[in-house]
Structure 1
Amino acid sequence: MKSVDAGNMTKAAEQLHVSQTALGLQIRNLETMLGVELLVRHSRGISMTDAGRLLYERGVEIMRLVDEARRDVSAFSKSSQQVVSMGLTPSTIRMLGADFLVSAHSELPGISLRVVEELSFILIDLLMRDEIDIALAYDASENTSALRMPLMEERLFFITAPGAPFPEGPVPFNEVIASNLALPGDRDNVWHAVHRAARNSTLPVNIRFSIQSLEMIKTLVEQGHATSIVPYGVVKQKIEEGKIVAHPIENPELGRTLYLIETPGRLSVTRDAKLKLFIDRLVDTLAERLGDGARVIGRCSEP
């Protein structure tokens, strides 16, 4: 039930590309056919009755079994390749480079890996719309129809232009948020990490530029017009070129968690043992290249 996942009829109708009236009529017809009420409508949206939850859970299981049967039957054809769509963030792709795609070709026989690069919240939206199979995304909130497995914790860094009035080494959090920050919008995981820490310390966050473009943020920082808070992978090349300086943040440190995210209807994808091992090696490589700024906390290939 898309209406359950979306939380209200309007969003569900938009996702299904039908009118809200038509969707409501379909649900009422289903309730009439089954002789039970499935959804309760209230001012905050909709919620499931016990009968609705049972139907939802059985429907998810049926979808999973159909998807698994399709994949298993297709495996009998030696010439067929299973296409797996994997969502990755820009910082992850920058750190891994093209190496992981070359490895996927040799390590995943029978699987054609399709990579989609987007910010974490966009990847989660794509996953919920069944446009990708799995995603490696950061700080995904709990969702009734998405499953999360934490794989890696990663530190965030304060970045400035060379010569900015900040000493080398760690910078206290209160000085970081008092600077002229350029940050993405409020759906971004970095924005949430900054504001969570600021709420705990009751300090205001000075956002000079709100920009949903990492390239523009890097340009503003490089030119000395702003500072920012980013994962190391976003600015690795600029740091190596001496165009940006990265400072650890202290009191408190800021970080984010990388999750493997999937939906119940796609569970058969990550049941593939070789794909599990490949994802684990991908995360190991990512953590190794991030150095002291990251650590592995979970593995797909272990029960």
Structure 2
Amino acid sequence: MNLEQLRGFAEVALTGHFTRAAEQLHLAQPSLSRQIATLERDLGVELFHRVRGNVALTSAGERLLPLARRMLADAETARNEMAELAGLQRGRIRLGATPTLCTSLVADVLAEFHERHPGIDIEVMERGSRSLIAALMEGALDLALIVTSVAHGEARAVLDREPILSERLVVVSAANRLDPFPRSDSSQAVTLAELARVPQIAFPENYDLRVAMDTAYRAAGLTPRVAVEGVEMDAALRFAERGIGVAVVPAMVAVDRPKLRSTPLAGAELTRTVSLARRSDMAPTHASAALQAMTREVADRLSAADSATATLVRRVGAVAGSARSGA
């Protein structure tokens, strides 16, 4: 019995079909059939009922499946730990990030990280901060970039949380249309009252940013004019470019978008903090520690005095120890 046989057995059990399993494993179907036949012969039992091309586990197969999956998981853990000993030549990081961070900070971080460490595979989960925290606690992620804002405060899950950036929110509008907020000083911030009177592009209700804005409007006793509701970030930016309405986005998202005019949103409370989070009971691997260092490096550049985001993004010092964080 070897790992390739167990991997083939587990894939056939998952797909219920030899041909589909062979495709997933990038094997010829006869080769996979021989692997399973050899495994059955070595174990002295039949693992599958075979009926007209479809297969189902026998009672012996059902007993073997959880053991096989455990053995394959242990083998993957062994590979990862040995890769750690080999340094940063190979390995894997499971990174979580919010949608707005994926289109800004994360894109810059991953581009540079891949150049320095091309052998490290990165699996990205794009979710809201609450879902990312849950994934961290379940062990489905090694590291996550989460946000805290006016909408959601401190967390319920115990994590090691390192705030790295404080980011203002900005209002984006079509650069080729009249400014919806005309004023003599283009750097003057837009108030919530001014914003509420202009047609807006609103994100889905479960978006962290949408929750933050709804909370701010309620606190100010305002009801915004909504032109379009429920769109994701890419669509919101495109709609704003076409003049359908304005959108409130994090400052980093609006950088390098010549078709959009960007105006700061007034109110010290309308900012968000970007934090690196991981489980406090799990030591970071060499690869994830390197990714954290790269994230801090990019954050330093984004907040540098000569950067395009200098007035809207501020570097936040590291917080030692575990903190309660959430979104």
1:131 aligns with 2:140: yes
User: Following the alignment from structure 2 to structure 1, what is the Cα–Cα distance between the partners of residues 88 and 285?
Assistant: 19
Query: Which segments of 5 or more consecutive residues in structure 1 lack a partner in the other structure?
Result: 1-67
Aligned residues: 233
Q: Which amino acid aligns with 1:247?
A: T
Change (3 A) 1:266 1:212: farther
**124, 130, 136: which one aligns with 1:116:** 124
Q: Secondary structure at the match of 1:299?
A: coil
- Would the aligned equivalents of 2:91 and 2:287 in 1 still touch at CA under 8 Å? no
Q: Does 1:202 align with 2:221?
A: yes
TM-score for both structures, normalised by structure 1: 0.62
Report the CA distance shift for 1:80/1:301 in structure 2 as closer, same or farther (over 3 A). Answer: farther
- CA change 1:279–1:217 in 2 (3 A) is closer
Structure 2 contact 92–123 (Cα < 8 Å) conserved: no
Distance change (3 Å), C-alpha of 1:286 and 1:116: farther
Q: 2:298 aligns with which of 258, 261, 282?
A: 282
CA distance in 2, matches of 1:220, 1:205: 17
Q: Give yes or no for the alignment of 1:173 onto 2:192.
A: yes
State the match for 1:235 in structure 2: 254
In the other structure, the counterpart of 1:216 is: 235
147-156 or 162-171, which deviates more: 162-171
The structural deviation recorded for 1:181 is 1.4
Normalising by the residue count of structure 2, what TM-score does the alignment of the two structures yield?
Answer: 0.58
Which whole-Å deviations, capped at 9, do the CAs of 1:235-271 have from their partners, x for residues lacking one? 3233x2xx22111122466211101121245443489
Distance 2:285 2:134 in 1: 18
- Please, which moves more after superposition, 203-212 or 256-265? 203-212
1: CA distance, partners of 2:237 / 2:287: 39
Shift of 1:134: 0.6
2:205 is equivalent to residue 186 of structure 1: yes
Cα deviations across residues 153-195 of structure 1 (Å, max 9, x unaligned)?
0001011223143214422211112321112122222112212
Shift of 1:87: 2.5
Cα gap change, 1:184/1:114 in structure 2, threshold over 3 Å: closer, same or farther?
same
CA distance in 1, matches of 2:246, 2:267: 18
Q: Secondary structure at the match of 1:137?
A: strand
CA-CA distance at 1:72 after TM superposition:
6.0
Following superposition of structure 1 onto structure 2, how do residues 58-73 of structure 1 map, counting pairs within 5 Å? none
1:292 partner SS: coil
Alignment of 1:136-151 (within 5 A): 136-139=145-148, 142-151=155-164
Q: 1:204 to 1:115 in 2, by over 3 A?
A: same
Distance in structure 1 (CA, Å) of the matches to 2:235 and 2:138: 29
Counterpart of 2:294, as a letter, is F
The offset of 1:127, in angstroms, is 3.2
CA drift of 1:125 comes to: 4.8
> Which residue is 1:158 aligned to?
171
Label 1:302 to 1:112 Cα distance change in 2 as closer, same or farther (>3 A).
Answer: farther
Q: Which has the higher helix share?
A: 1
Instruction: Compute the RMSD of aligned alpha carbons.
Output: 3.7
Q: Deviations over 1:198-257 (max 9, x none)?
A: 23322223333222411221222122221110013323233x2xx221111224662111
| Shift, 1:90, TM fit | 4.7
Provide the rounded CA distance (Å) in 2 between the counterparts of 1:302 and 1:287.
24
Q: Is the 8 A contact 1:84 1:133 kept in 2?
A: yes
Conservation of the 8 A alpha-carbon contact between 1:160 and 1:228 = yes
Shift in alpha-carbon separation, 1:70–1:184, aligned structure 2, 3 A: same
Query: Secondary structure at the residue paired with 1:262?
Result: strand
Would you say 1:299 and 2:307 are equivalent positions?
Answer: no
Unaligned runs of 5+ in 2: 1-76, 323-327
Query: 1:189 touches 1:256 (CA, 8 Å); kept in 2?
Result: no
Identity among equivalent pairs (%): 23
Q: Secondary structure at the match of 1:179?
A: coil
Aligned AA (2:313):
A
Residue identity in the other structure for 2:126: E
Note the C-alpha offset of 1:135: 0.9
Q: Counterparts of 1:24-35 in structure 2 under 5 Å? A: none
